[in-house]
Amino acid sequence: MLAAINVLASRWKFAQAALLVLFGLLFVVTESSSISDVYRMIQYDFDGEPYGSRRAALSQHASLLSAVNHLTRAVVVIPLSDLDVDAVSDLLDNKTPIAGMVFVLPLDFDGGGYNLEPLREVEQVLINQKINVPVYFAMENADLKQMVSDLKGMVAAGTPPSPTTGGYRLVVTSPEPAKLEPPTLENYQCWLPGTAVNPGSPEKVSLPTIAIVAYYDTLAAAPGMAVGADANGSGVAAILELARLFSRLYADARTRGSYNLLFVLTSAGSLNYAGAEHWLASMDARVLETIEFVLCLDSIGSWGKTGGLNLHISRPPKDTAIQQLYGEFKSVAEDLSVPFDVVHKKVNISSPHVAWEHEQFAKRRIVAATLSARSAPASPLGLSSLADRGSDSTNATSVATTVRLVGEALVRHMYGHSGRSIEAFAEGSSRAVSLEFLQQWLDVLGSTPRTVPYHLPVPPKSFRTSSATLSSARRLCASIRSLLASYATEVTAEPFRLDPGTGATQYTFYGETTAKLEVYKGPGAKATT
C-alpha cells in the first residue's frame, strides 16, 4: 500500500512539473495579445466549380513575403507596400505550403496617394481561382503596424519568424463557411410622367419613354470591404441627382416634357447584370414598347484621370431621332470640354458573359447605351475592386459634369431643341447640379458594402455577417427609395430571386464576410522592437 502511495506521489510531482512547463510555454507564446477586425475573402462556386478562399479558420505563426525560404506553414502577412503579384501567384501555385494570408491595407489607402495597381492585379488573381487556405484583409491599426515592423526586424536580423523563434501567432476561430441560400434581391424604379399624363392611366403607355439605369451593388475580393465608389456608386449618385433635377422641371406643367422619364436602379449588376435581365422579364410589355432609349450609367466618376467619357453602343443607330440624340451628347460634351467618344461593340449573343448593362436591353431590341469612363468592358467579376473607394477613385466634380452632360443632352432631345445650345441646368440657376448633394451621396455609397448576396434586405437563415454591415446596407436602400419617392411617382421595389441555373445565377456564395483576428506576441519579437 505504501509503495503504491509513493508511486502516485511521484507521478503527481511529475505531472505538476509537466504542467508548470506547459503553462510556462503558453506564457512565453502568449505573452501579449490583441484583436483586430478582418474581412474574409469571397468564397463562391461558378457553374459548380469552386473559387475563392475555401477555408476560414487559421492558427499559425506569422511571417512575411521577404522570408521566402521560411514560409512553410506560415500565415503570410502582406502589407500594401510589399504587395507583389508574382510573389503572391507563386504562393498560390503551392510552391510553398503556407497556412494562410493576411493583407494589411493602410487606413488612408483610398486617398493617400498609394500605387493601387498591384492591389487590383492581386485581387483579380485571388478572385479567379480556388485557394485552399484562409485569406483575410485588414485595415492597418497600431497593433498590426507594430507586428509588421517587428517581423521585418526579425527577418533583417537573420532570425526569420518560425514556430521555434517566437514572433507572432495569428488565430481566427471560425466554423467552415456555410453555403448561402439563393438570394432575393430588389430593383428600384420610379416614374416622371410626361405631359398631362396621370400615373396608372392608359395614356401612360402612349408617350415615349426614356429610361436611365444604373446597378447599385458592388463586388470585391473581400465582400465586407466592397464599397464600389466609382463602380457603381457614381452611377447611383448621378441617377439620384438627375431624378431631383428633372422632378423640378416636370413639377411645372409649362416645363414638363412630352416624354416619360423612368429611373431604374438594378441589383446584381456585378453578376452579369442579372437585375436588368429580371427587370426586363417582369416589366409590362406595353411599357417596354414605349421605351425609345435606355441610358445606363457605369463608373462615371473617374474620367478626369482615365481620359474622357465613352458612350458604348451595340450597333450604329438607324433611327434619325437616336442619331440626333447621340449628336446631342457629343455637342454638350464639347460645350463642357469633356473628351467624348462613341464606342461600338456588337453584342456577342453566344457568350454567357454580358459585357455592358445596356446589352441586356439590346437583346430585347431596345435601343440602349452605356456611358462610362471605362473605354472597355470589365472582365467577369471585375467591375469593382477593393481599391475602388474614396477620392482616389471617384471625383464628385466629374460626376457633376456628367450629370449636366446627360441632363442637357436629354432636354435638347425631348424638347425638340436639337442643335441649339440651350442650358436647362445652368450653373447658378435654380436647377443647377448640386455638387454638395452628389458629394454627400458619394460619401455614403463609398462607405457602404453592397455585395450580392450579402447586402440583402432580408437575409436568408444561413447567412451570418456583422450586424453593422447589414444595417448600413438596409438603411442605404431605404434612404434611396425614400428619396426617389420625394421626386417621382410610382416608386416601387421589384423583388427577384437569383434561382440556380439561369444566367448570373450560376454563382453560389458562402458566408461569412468578417472575423476577429487574434494576434499573440511572443518573446522573439522583442529584440526587434
Cell readout for 131 is 485557394
How many Cα atoms sit within 13 Å of 336 on the Cβ side? 30
Kindly report the length of the chain.
529
pLDDT of amino acid 12: 43
Beta-carbon count within 10 A of 106 CB: 14
What is the DSSP track for 12-55?
A: HHHHHHHHHHHHHHHHHHTSEEEEEEEEEPPEEEETTEEEEE--
Pair 431, 208: CB distance under 8 Å = no
135-139 vs 100-105, strand pairing mode: parallel
Give every CB contact of residue 321 below 8 A, 6+ residues apart in sequence: 292, 413
Cell readout for 26 is 503558453
How many Cα atoms sit within 13 Å of 348 on the Cβ side? 9
Q: Name the strand (E) or helix (H) holding 490.
A: strand 489-497
Pair 311, 329: CB distance under 8 Å = yes
- Which residue's entry shows cell 479567379? 128
Secondary-structure class of domain 184-502 per CATH = alpha beta
314 alpha carbon, distance to own chain's centre:
26
347-351 long-range contacts (CB < 8 A, ≥24 apart) are: 347/314
pLDDT of amino acid 525: 63
Cell readout for 92 is 498560390
pLDDT of amino acid 95: 73
pLDDT of amino acid 469: 56
Calpha distance 404→205 (Å, rounded): 28
pLDDT of amino acid 498: 84
pLDDT tens string, the chain, 529 residues long: the values are 445 444 434 444 444 434 333 333 443 445 568 999 999 999 999 988 999 999 999 999 999 999 988 899 999 999 999 999 999 999 998 778 999 999 999 988 777 788 899 999 999 999 999 999 999 999 999 999 999 999 999 999 999 998 888 799 999 999 989 998 888 899 999 999 998 545 555 555 679 999 999 999 999 999 999 999 999 999 999 999 999 999 999 999 999 999 999 999 999 999 999 999 999 999 999 999 999 999 999 999 999 876 899 999 999 999 999 999 999 999 999 999 999 999 999 998 888 889 999 999 999 999 999 999 999 999 888 877 899 998 878 999 999 999 999 999 999 999 998 877 789 999 999 999 999 999 999 999 999 999 988 875 555 555 555 655 556 888 899 999 999 999 998 899 999 988 765 555 688 999 889 999 999 998 766 544 3
Going from N- to C-terminal start, the domains of the chain cover 30-177+512-528, 184-502
Calpha distance 355→454 (Å, rounded): 23
514 alpha carbon, distance to own chain's centre:
15
pLDDT of amino acid 418: 81
Pair 85, 118: CB distance under 8 Å = yes
What is the DSSP track for 328-352?
A: HHHHHHHHTT--EEEEE----TT-S
Calpha distance 509→268 (Å, rounded): 13
Beta-carbon count within 10 A of 347 CB: 16
- Integer angstrom CA distances of residue 198 from 220, 446, 489: 43, 37, 10
pLDDT of amino acid 205: 61
Total-model pTM: 0.90
Cell readout for 145 is 503596424
